[in-house]
Amino acid sequence: EIVMTQSPATLSASPGERATLSCRASQSITNNLAWYQQKPGQAPRLLIFGASSRATGIPVRFSGSGSGTEFTLTISSLQSEDFAVYYCLQYNNWLTWTFGQGTKVEIK
């Protein structure tokens, strides 16, 4: 089973700052990684797939990078609506998925 580890668990930042979130896979998943944003009381929303492709309607301040076992989600300039929990998801193996435990981005 592929284990996904996100860091940090909580990131405190101010509006306008840059935020960098990490996700590590226990084995290579090439670029088979997605990122989701979840706000309180809402379902997760797809941000990034294929490690670096933005989903439809996602602002350009969100970007993804990485391959193999190390991945990064960057929010270039935090907006008030970006304070939420972010999850990574690997889908490297056929019909098998694993989520990371999440990173909470909170207002400093």
Partner 1 sequence: EVQLVQSGAEVKKPGESLKISCKGSGYNFIYYWIGWVRQMPGGDLDWMAVIYPGDSTTRYSPSFQGHVTISVDRSDSTAYLQWSSLKASDTAFYYCVRRTGVAASFHFDHWGQGTLVTVSS
Q: Give me the residues that bind partner 1 (CB under 8 A), please.
A: 32, 34, 43-46, 49-50, 53, 55, 85, 87, 89, 91, 94-99, 101-102
Q: How far is the CB of 60 from partner 1 (least distance, A)?
A: 19
The DSSP bridge pattern shows strands 10-13 and 103-107 to be parallel
CB contact at 8 A, 36 and 86: yes
Q: How far is the CB of 104 from partner 1 (least distance, A)?
A: 8
- In the DSSP assignment, the letter for residue 27 is S
Closest of 28, 38, 40, 70 to residue 52, by C-alpha:
70
Cβ proximity to partner 1, 63 vs 101, nearer residue: 101
Q: How far is the CB of 77 from partner 1 (least distance, A)?
A: 26
